[in-house]
Amino acid sequence: MNSIKIDLRSTASFVDAETLDAWRGKAVQALIKLESRKGEGNDFLGWIDLPAACTETVRDDLKNVAGKLSQGIELVVVIGIGGSYLGAKAVLDALSHSFNTLLPQRKHPLLLFAGQNISEDYHAELLEVLKNHSAACIVISKSGTTTEPAIAFRLIKQHFEEKYGKAGAKNRIVAITDAARGALRVLAGQEGYSTFVIPDDVGGRFSVFTPVGLLPIAVAGFDIDALIKGAADMAHYTAKKDCTNPAVQYAAVRNALYVQGRKIEVLVNYNPKLHYVTEWWKQLYGESEGKAHKGLFPAGVDFTSDLHSMGQYLQEGERHLFETVLSVAQEKHTLTIPHDEQNLDQLNFLAGKRLCECNKMAELGTLLAHVDGGVPNIHIEIPTLDEYHLGGLLYFFEKACGVSGYMLGVNPFDQPGVEAYKKNMFALLNKPGFEEQGEALRKRI
């Protein structure tokens, strides 16, 4: 059964049924273009078939390497940025105990991330922690030349070689990169690291179902079979060329709202475990659609926390946005609110109720208030936060993104704009070959 419920009732007063139907028709056409592999960026559509391509043999190989890498290891540093980071981080945060760093006994290593920024403090403090723990490293870069992870890897490699010796370091490092190109591939070959390949036809932000996402997820002890099964089932549902397809529904309504001047989509969650799913989604949609001076700006909020910071704006600020609420129907734990004899906070009417009931009423109350305040709301629900449903959710967002990007009239699978900052950074750091540009830039600072 399709594990995603998409409810558009709270957009009905903003987009009438006839208009929405027309957009659904356009979404189906975009889906046909995507699946026929004749649209722009069609050399980057390998992600569509990743769940089917991730066979039992592939998954067993990943589990074996994950098992070997974890033996006697307390910490695994995962180095990567953007699409080489956010998929694994999203799944791990969604599935992990909220306080896993404080749990006394862990069956699996704790995963820490590096190279997703170049903060000196962050990396110095990471090295400080690594001194007292047995560690391994997964270094991920498709191009193998991205500056941030390359800097982090220099630091980790040096630390490992000093601490474990060159041979010891080699056994603790797995590289995930292009099959043939890039500095990381060359280095991995020279040093004899175990490696996995990121397929040529899969872009970073669509790579969560390759070893980029799957190896860290397996190292953390999560069920990659179920994750892939969820994605495979969703691949089936989102291939349907009709309005029962949730990706068609979502792509249609967000484009319908966009042309009405709703330029910002705010992804809302009521479970802090979903914070990084939102970060992953922001990259997926921002990098895929933000081109040719077009595209919805993807923003995110964690409710109810952010109702106390962003709630005022969402209720009464400029009406250039809409919300997509991502709900999880069932939480894992049961916790009821206690009775209090004094009742100073006047909350005894809540005694005996579960927290999830309060959270649900906060969600429904906010939805009604925001719709009354002029904010259209799309509602997406998954039954529970587990590997299967998360796999389905991520695949759903990927498919809808491809469809939506084609509806917008952009190539959703390239990212030419990401290069501009890199060139300036290299010029300002005096990279050989960038001297003239560096001089020109310095005059402007």
Residues near ligand PA5, by CB under 6 A: 81-84, 141-143, 146, 149, 203-205, 287, 415
Q: Provide the minimum distance between the beta carbon of 81 and ligand PA5 in the complex, in angstroms, as a whole number.
A: 5
CA dihedral 345, 347, 348, 349 (to 10 degrees): 150
Would you say 83 or 376 has its CB closer to ligand PA5?
83
CB of 138 or CB of 378, closer to ligand PA5:
138
Tokens of 357: 């009931």
CA–centroid distance for 62 within its chain: 20
Question: How deeply is 430 buried, as exposed, middle or buried, from its count of CB atoms within 10 A (0-12, 13-18, 19+)?
Answer: exposed
422, 423, 435, 439: which one is catalytic?
A: 422
> What's the min distance (Å) between Cβ of 143 and ligand PA5?
3
Lookup: tokens for 115: 């190279």
Question: Is position 422 annotated as part of the catalytic site?
Answer: yes
- The DSSP annotation for 196-235 comes to EE--TT--GGG-TTSHHHHHHHHHTT--HHHHHHHHHHHH
Annotated catalytic, 339? no
Residue nearest ligand PA5, Cβ-based: 204
Distance of CA 415 to the CA centre of its chain: 17
Q: Collapsing DSSP states into helix, strand and coil, what is residue 434? A: coil
C-beta of 202 vs 371, nearer to ligand PA5 = 202
Least separation, in Å, of the C-beta of 148 and ligand PA5?
Answer: 8
The secondary structure element, H or E, covering residue 6 is strand 5-7
236 is catalytic: no
Closest distance to ligand PA5 from the beta carbon of 172 (Å): 21
Q: Which is nearer to ligand PA5, 28 or 139 (CB)?
A: 139
Whether the CB-CB separation of 144 and 81 falls below 8 Å is answered with: no
Give least dist CB 181 to ligand PA5, A: 10
Toward ligand PA5, which CB reaches closer, 149 or 230?
149
Cα dist from 196 to 139, 199, 285, 368, whole Å: 10, 10, 26, 48
Hey, what amino acid is at 143?
A: S
- Tokens, residue 167: 């041979």
**Residue 373 Cα distances to 26, 29, 162, 311, 358, angstroms:** 29, 34, 60, 11, 22
Q: Which is nearer to ligand PA5, 24 or 205 (CB)?
A: 205
Distances (CA, A) of 287 to 12, 253, 402: 29, 20, 12
Cβ proximity to ligand PA5, 96 vs 141, nearer residue: 141
Instruction: Identify the active-site residue in 287, 289, 363, 398.
Output: 287
CB 135 within 8 A of CB 164: no
CB 386 within 8 A of CB 226: yes
Closest CA to 49 of 205, 177, 232: 232
Q: In this complex, which beta carbon is closest to ligand PA5, that of residue 149 or of residue 391?
A: 149
Between CA 178 and CA 417 the distance in angstroms is: 22
CB of 78 to ligand PA5, least distance (A): 12
Nearest Cα residue to 402 out of 202, 182, 262, 221: 202
Q: Residue 197 CB, nearest distance to ligand PA5 (Å)?
A: 12
- Closest distance of CB 436 from ligand PA5, Å: 26
| Residue 286 burial by Cβ neighbours in a 10 Å radius (0-12, 13-18, 19+) | middle
The single residue of 38, 107, 293, 308 carrying the catalytic annotation is: 308
Q: What residues are annotated to the active site?
A: 287, 308, 422
